[in-house]
Structure 1
Amino acid sequence: MNGGGGPSRAPRLPGRRVPPAQVAWLTIVWLLLWGDVTVGNVLGGLLAGLAVVWLLPLPVLDSGLRIHPVGLVVFLTRFAVDMVVSSFRVAFWALRPGTPPVRIVEVRLRSSSEVMAVLITVALSALPGSLVLEAHVGERLLVLHVLGVTGDARAVTEADVARLESRVVAAFGTRADREELR
């Protein structure tokens, strides 16, 4: 079975399935190593790729990641806006005299997926002014260092993380991940 849950459509050589994508990738690597695209190099790359994939099969792993094009566009668009806004916020606090408001906030994630927790952690750490200090995936808990949040830092940060989590799950989550957030 493949990662999609259905039977694999990869062609079979005696006793084993041969994924065409892996053979194609190995052929491209072969051509890059030779540095010249000729019929002989392409055929040699295909044969080498077939041999490697057939002799050294990789286990089929499900990463728990699904790409949803509409959710991905929404996530990337909003993430770009968040990057710009966060950059201006950090610049504002950096140029302003005095000590900027810095808080350490614990936020509980709604998703129990480790893959979603990693993606959320990476997205949060990529935004200027926020940093994930600790991630306790088993307890669904992130400890964040946030800059420039005034007022009730916990409530503001929890709301921001919940919105980001919803967009990450909509872009990359499985059906079970998406249902978990409802």
Structure 2
Amino acid sequence: MNGPLAPRVLGRRVPLPLVAWLALVWVTLWGDASVGNVLGGLAVGLVTVWLLPLPALDPGVRLRPAALAAFLLWFAWDLVGSTARVVWWVARPGDPPSELVRVPLRTSSESMTVLIMIALATVPGSVVVEAYLAERELLLHVLGRRRDAAAATLAEVAGLESRIVAAFGTRADRQELG
């Protein structure tokens, strides 16, 4: 963080929003919003942030509004379709078809892999059983697919991966997918 929200104090950047947050926590802990507590909280926050600077972190996620909107529309449609499929199989007598499918990922980004796993776990009928990050693969349990579950799952996850990387990925992530 640079600029007016993170001025330099004795050679170190001090992010003012973090100082304000720490002061708020200080005042809350004391339980009294007096002038002395607010000033003391600001002083403690300033000293803490100056003595213990946080490293600059890049979570590796970028938002692209158009791609995000497309992803959310597709995701909502997938939620409805998957829910209907699971309800259909649960309402029928007998055991629903299920299969373990090993799915390769094209992305090497941990952030994108986590988002893919969250999306897969959120949709009914699929659960991430295990993630093999070194091999860039996920092991999924798929419920309610009768014919060629592996091929359908591979195609759906590849599409999901493309949409997530388009909506949230960095330039390097998007280039990696081609």
Q: Fold match, TM over 0.5?
A: yes
Residue matched to 2:78? 82
What residue identity is the alignment partner of 2:101?
A: V
Q: Distance in 2 between matches of 1:173 and 1:116?
A: 7
The reply to whether residue 94 of structure 1 matches residue 100 of structure 2 is no
48-57 vs 66-75, greater mean Cα deviation? 66-75
Residue matched to 1:67? 63
How far off its partner does 1:33 sit? Answer: 3.1
The reply to whether residue 113 of structure 1 matches residue 109 of structure 2 is yes
CA spacing shift, 1:67–1:43, aligned 2, 3 Å:
farther
Residue matched to 1:5? none
Q: Distance in 2 between matches of 1:46 and 1:64?
A: 31
How far off its partner does 1:120 sit? Answer: 0.7
CA spacing shift, 1:119–1:57, aligned 2, 3 Å:
same
CA spacing shift, 1:42–1:92, aligned 2, 3 Å:
farther
Local SS of the residue matching 1:46:
helix
CA spacing shift, 1:48–1:77, aligned 2, 3 Å:
farther
1:80-159 correspondence to structure 2 within 5 Å: 80-159=76-155
How far off its partner does 1:41 sit? Answer: 4.3
Residue matched to 1:30? 26
Q: Distance in 1 between matches of 2:31 and 2:88?
A: 50
80-89 vs 111-120, greater mean Cα deviation? 80-89
TM-score by length of 2: 0.86
CA RMSD across the alignment: 2.0
Unaligned residue ranges in structure 1 (runs of 5+): 3-7
Residue matched to 1:178? 174
How far off its partner does 1:43 sit? Answer: 3.5
Q: % of aligned pairs identical?
A: 60
What residue identity is the alignment partner of 2:93?
A: P
Q: Distance in 1 between matches of 2:171 and 2:95?
A: 44
What residue identity is the alignment partner of 1:28?
A: L
Alignment length (residue pairs): 176
Q: Distance in 2 between matches of 1:151 and 1:22?
A: 54
CA spacing shift, 1:165–1:24, aligned 2, 3 Å:
farther
Q: Deviations over 1:75-107 (max 9, x none)?
A: 333323322322222111111112211011111
74-83 vs 29-38, greater mean Cα deviation? 29-38
What residue identity is the alignment partner of 2:48?
A: V
121-130 vs 15-24, greater mean Cα deviation? 15-24
